[in-house]
C-alpha cells in the first residue's frame, strides 16, 4: 500500500469515528430526554401525603408566636405569665428542619420512576462518554479543541459528578431533573449552533498542558454548576421556610415541590462544601494556564480576556467562600455572591469564547453560527 493510500484510509477511518461520535451524542440526547420524563414522573407520581416535614417543624413556632398570654389559676387569684418569645432566624443552619423525603415523596411508585430515571441517566452518560471518546479518536487528540467539543465534554462531566455523588450515597437525587434539563439544553446548543467538524489543533495547542489545564477547567465547571443548582434551590427553600415560620401559607405547587427537597440549611451546606472542595482545583487551573501560556506565547500573563475573567471568577468564588465562612454572611447574602461567582464562570465559558476576541476565543465558530439564526 502506498503512503497516499494509507493516508486516505486513515482519513476515512477518522471520518467514520467522527460520524459515530455524532450518532452517540444524538443517542445520548434521546436517552436524556427519556430520563427527563422519568424524573418528571418521579416528582408527579410520588406521594404527596409524606411531604409535610418542614411545615410540621415550623408551623408550631408560628402558632406559638400568635398565641395569647398564658393564664394560670391559683388559689386566691389569677397569675398571668408572659408567653416566651419564639425567635426564627433566617440564617442558614439556624432552624431545626428535617430534610424532605426526596422527589419520590417516600413513595414506592415514585421511587420506581426515580430508579428508572437514574438508570436512563447512566445509559445516557455512557453514550455521551462514548461520543466524547470517539471524537477524540477521530482527531487523535484531546476532545476539547473547540466549543462544540468543550460542551459535550462539560455536559458529560457534569452528569459524571452527579452519578459519582449518588455512588457515594449522597442525598442528591433531587438534582436529577434539573441536571437532565440543563444538559439537554447544553447539548442542543452544541449540536445546533456550535458544531464544528473534527480537525487538528493550531500549533500553540499541541502540548500536554492541553490535557491538564482544560480537563481541570471542565471538571471545575461541572462542580461549580452542581453548587449553583444547590444555591438556587436553597433560595427557594429558604423563602418557603420563612413564609411558613411567619405564619404564611404557600401554594400547593410550592408545597408539593419544595417540601421534598432537603432543608435550606442542608442545601446551603452542600453548596458550600462542593464549591470549597473544587476551589483549590480552580486555583491550579489558572496557574496551569499561566505556565502553558509561558511555554506557548512566551509570557505567563498577558491580560487576555480569558485570563482576566478566569481571575475574576477566582476572586468571586474566593469572596463567596470567605463570606460563607463568616457568621454574618451565612444564608442568602452568601448565596447571592455564589450565584454572582457562577455567573462569572458562565461568561468566561460562553461569552469570552464566543463573543470576545482573544487568544482563547472561538469567535469564528460561535458568532458565525449565531448570526446565521439571527443573533
Average pLDDT, the chain: 81
Question: Given a cut of 60, is residue 294 above it in pLDDT?
Answer: yes
The 10s digit of each residue's pLDDT in 62-109 is 444 444 444 444 445 444 434 434 334 444 445 678 888 888 888 888
List C-alpha distances in Å: 366 to 26, 271, 357. 20, 31, 11
Domain boundary assignment for the chain: 10-51+100-201, 62-99+202-375
Interval 118-167: pLDDT, tens: 999 999 999 999 999 999 998 888 888 888 999 999 999 999 999 999 99
Q: Once rounded to an integer, what is the mean pLDDT over residues 248-258?
A: 82
- What's the predicted TM-score (pTM) here? 0.83
CA atoms within 13 A on the CB side of 212: 14
The conformation of residue 77, written as its DSSP 8-state character, comes to E
Nearest Cα to 128, choosing from 241, 261, 26?
26
Burial classification of residue 6, based on how many CB atoms lie within 10 Å of its CB (0-12 exposed, 13-18 middle, 19 or more buried): exposed
Strand partners, 71: 80
d(CA 255, CA 234): 15
317-351 tens-digit pLDDT: 999 999 888 766 778 989 999 999 999 999 998 88
Amino acid at each position: 500500500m502506498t503512503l497516499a493510500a494509507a493516508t486516505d484510509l486513515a482519513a476515512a477511518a477518522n471520518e467514520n469515528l467522527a460520524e459515530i461520535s455524532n450518532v452517540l451524542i444524538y443517542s445520548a440526547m434521546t436517552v436524556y430526554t427519556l430520563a427527563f420524563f422519568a424524573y418528571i414522573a418521579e416528582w408527579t407520581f410520588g406521594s404527596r401525603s409524606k411531604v409535610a416535614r418542614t411545615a410540621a417543624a415550623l408551623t408550631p413556632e408560628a402558632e406559638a408566636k400568635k398565641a395569647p398570654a398564658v393564664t394560670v389559676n391559683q388559689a386566691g387569684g389569677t397569675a398571668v405569665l408572659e408567653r416566651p418569645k419564639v425567635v426564627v432566624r433566617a440564617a442558614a443552619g439556624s432552624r431545626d428542619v428535617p430534610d424532605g423525603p426526596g422527589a419520590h415523596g417516600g413513595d414506592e411508585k415514585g421511587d420506581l420512576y426515580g430508579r428508572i430515571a437514574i438508570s436512563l441517566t447512566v445509559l445516557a452518560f455512557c453514550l455521551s462518554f462514548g461520543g466524547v471518546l470517539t471524537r477524540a479518536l477521530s482527531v487523535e487528540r484531546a476532545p476539547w479543541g473547540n466549543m462544540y467539543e468543550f460542551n459535550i465534554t462539560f455536559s458529560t462531566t457534569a452528569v459524571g459528578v452527579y452519578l459519582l455523588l449518588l455512588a457515594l450515597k449522597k442525598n442528591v437525587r433531587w438534582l436529577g431533573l434539573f441536571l437532565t434539563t440543563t444538559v439537554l439544553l447544553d447539548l442542543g446548543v452544541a449540536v445546533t449552533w456550535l458544531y464544528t467538524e473534527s480537525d487538528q489543533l493550531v500549533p500553540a495547542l499541541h502540548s500536554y498542558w492541553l490535557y491538564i489545564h482544560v480537563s481541570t477547567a471542565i471538571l471545575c465547571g461541572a462542580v461549580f454548576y452542581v453548587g449553583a443548582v444547590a444555591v438556587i434551590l436553597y433560595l427557594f427553600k429558604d423563602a418557603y421556610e420563612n413564609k411558613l415560620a411567619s405564619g404564611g401559607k404557600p401554594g400547593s405547587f410550592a408545597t408539593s415541590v419544595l417540601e421534598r427537597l432537603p432543608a435550606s440549611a442542608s442545601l446551603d451546606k452542600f453548596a458550600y462544601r462542593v464549591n470549597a472542595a473544587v476551589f483549590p482545583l480552580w486555583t491550579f487551573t489558572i496557574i496551569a494556564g499561566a505556565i502553558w501560556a509561558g511555554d506557548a506565547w512566551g509570557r505567563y500573563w498577558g491580560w487576555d480576556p480569558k485570563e482576566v475573567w478566569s481571575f475574576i471568577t477566582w476572586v468571586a468564588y474566593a469572596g463567596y467562600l470567605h463570606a460563607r465562612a463568616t457568621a454574618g454572611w451565612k444564608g442568602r447574602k452568601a448565596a447571592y455572591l455564589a450565584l454572582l461567582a457562577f455567573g462569572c464562570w458562565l461568561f468566561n465559558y460562553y461569552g469570552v469564547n464566543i463573543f470576545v476576541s482573544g487568544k482563547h476565543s472561538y469567535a469564528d465558530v460561535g458568532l458565525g453560527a449565531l448570526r446565521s439564526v439571527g443573533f
